[in-house]
Amino acid sequence: MRNLLKWVTLATLLFVAACSTNAGSEANENGEQQTNNKKETNEVTDNQDSEETTDETSKEPKKNEEEEVVTEEAVTTEYRLNEAFWGFEPINDAPAEAVLLTIDDAPDKNAVEMAKTLKELDAPAIFFVNGHFLDTEEEKASLKEIHNMGFAIGNHTMTHSDLKTLSEEEQKEEIVKLNDLIEEIIGERPEFFRAPFGSNTDYSKSLAEEEGMLLMNWTYGYDWEKQYQEKNAIADIMVNTPLLQNGANLLMHDRDWTAAALEDIVSGLREKDFDLIKPEEIEPLQK
C-alpha cells in the first residue's frame, strides 16, 4: 500500500512538472509573437512615415519647377514700333524718354569691340548682320561671341544689296538664307529685319513678316557721312542732333570712328536722361 502511494505521488509530480513546462513554452511563444508583431507594426509605421516624407520631398521640387516656368514665361512688353518716325512709343508705364541703339554691317572689324564696350556700359543694342561678314569660321565665332554677350541679332541681308533692284527669288535668297545661316551659328533666328539703305519692297516686307521678323528702318544716323567719320564729330552729332527725341531709333555702323565714339555716345544720351530700350522689351511682330 505504501508503495502504491509513492507511485501515485511521483506520477502526480511528473504531470504537474510537464504542465508547467508546456505553459512556459506557450508563454514564450506568445511573447515572441507579440514582440514580432510589435516589430512589424513599428516597421510598417516607419515605412509609412518614410513614404510620406519622400512624397512631400518629391513634391517640393515640382512646385519650384512650376514657379521657375512661370517666371521664365513672364515677358514684359514695354515699347511699340511707330512707323511714322520708325521709333518707339511706350506701353503702359514705360519711360517715354528712351532710345534704341542699333549697329549695322556686323560683324566686320569692330563689332566685337563695340559689343564689349556696350556690355561694360550695360547698354543694350541690336546688331544687324550681313552674310558676307560670316564667310569664315573666325567671323562666325565673332557673331557667336556677340550673341553670347546678350545682344540681339538682326537680319541685314546676305550681301547688302538694294532689294528694289532684285527679283523676288533673289530677295528671298538675301533674307531667308541669312536667317538660316544665323540660326546655324547662334541657334535661333532673328526677330528683327532692316533692309540695306532702308530700301524695302512689298515682297521683302511680306517675307520679313512670314519669317516672323519686325521690320525696322531708323530715326537718324550719320556715321557714313564724310564730315562725321571722326570720333568727336560722330559723338557730338549723335547726342546733340535736333532729331533726338523720345523713342528714337539710332542707326550706327561697324566703323572705326563709331567704335571709338561709342562710350561717349552712350554717356551723352544718359546725361540727357534717356534710358536705353532693351530689344526684348519691344512688342514683337503682330501676326
Number of domains in the chain: 2
Regarding whether 48 and 16 lie in a shared domain, the answer is yes
Same domain, 2 and 84: no
Q: How confident is the model at residue 75 (pLDDT cuts 50, 70, 90)?
A: low
Three-state secondary structure call for residue 157? coil
74 — pLDDT class (breaks 50, 70, 90): low
Indicate the residue type of 94. A
**Three-class secondary structure of residue 194 per DSSP:** strand
Share in percent of the chain as helix, strand, coil (round to 5) = 55, 15, 30
Same domain, 33 and 124: no
Strand, coil or helix: 180: helix
- 12 with 33, same domain: the answer is yes
Q: What confidence score (pLDDT) does residue 285 get? A: 86
Of residues 67 and 285, which shows the higher confidence score? Answer: 285
- pLDDT for the residue 54: 42
pLDDT at residue 26 is higher than 90: no
Q: Same domain for 159 and 24?
A: no
Mean pLDDT of the region 191-204: 98
Whether residue 79 is predicted with pLDDT greater than 90 in this model: the reply is yes
- Highest mean pLDDT, choosing among 30-34, 52-56, 89-93: 89-93
Domain boundary among 44, 74, 104: 74
Mean pLDDT of 57-82: 56
Residues 70 and 85 occupy one common structural domain: no
Is residue 82 very low, low, confident or very high in pLDDT (cuts 50, 70, 90)?
Answer: very high
Give the pLDDT score at 185. 98
Instruction: Write down the pLDDT at residue 286.
Output: 75
CA distances from 24 to 11, 27, 134 (A): 20, 5, 95
The reported pLDDT for the residue numbered 225 is: 98
In a domain, 7, yes or no: yes
Q: Are residues 51 and 176 part of one domain?
A: no
Phi, psi dihedrals of residue 154, rounded to the nearest 5°:
-110, 165
Domain identity same for 102 and 43: no
Write down the pLDDT at residue 83.
Answer: 97
CA 136 to the chain's CA centroid: 27
CA angle 273, 279, 285 (to 5 degrees): 130
What nine digits make up the cell of 38? Answer: 510589435
Do residues 119 and 200 both lie within one domain? yes
Cα–Cα distance measured from residue 281 to residue 253, given in angstroms and rounded to the nearest whole number: 22
| Domain assignment present for 287 | no
Boundary-marking domain end, from 25, 52, 74: 74
User: Which of 108, 174, 112, 172 is closest to 135 using CA atoms?
Assistant: 108
pLDDT value for 33: 42
Q: 225-283 pLDDT, tens per residue?
A: 999 999 999 999 999 999 999 999 999 999 999 999 999 999 999 999 999 999 999 99
The angle at the Cα of 140, spanning 138 to 142, to the nearest 5 degrees, equals 70
Share of the chain above pLDDT 90, in %: 72
Give residue 103's domain range: 79-281
Q: Are 36 and 59 part of one and the same domain?
A: yes
Range 29-35 average pLDDT: 43
Q: Which three cell numbers stand for residue 218?
A: 531708323
Full-model pTM: 0.75
Instruction: Please indicate, yes or no, whether residues 34 and 161 belong to a single structural domain of this protein.
Output: no
Comparing 35-49, 74-88, 92-106, 256-270, the range with the smallest average pLDDT is 35-49
Q: Is the same domain home to 184 and 88?
A: yes
The CATH number that applies at residue 246 is 3.20.20.370
Q: What is the DSSP letter of 280?
A: G
Strand intervals (E) in the chain: 79-82, 87-90, 98-106, 126-129, 152-155, 192-194, 214-216, 220-221, 249-253, 275-276
**Neighbour-count burial of 92, counting CB atoms closer than 10 A to its CB (0-12 exposed, 13-18 middle, 19+ buried):** exposed
Among candidates 243, 247, 193, which has minimal Cα distance to 216? 193
Residue predicted with more confidence, 131 or 18 = 131
% of the chain exceeding 70 in pLDDT:
74
For residue 11, name the pLDDT band (cuts at 50, 70, 90): very low
Question: Is position 120 within any domain?
Answer: yes
User: Mean pLDDT, to the nearest integer, of 201-223?
Assistant: 98
Interval 134-145: pLDDT, tens: 999 999 999 999
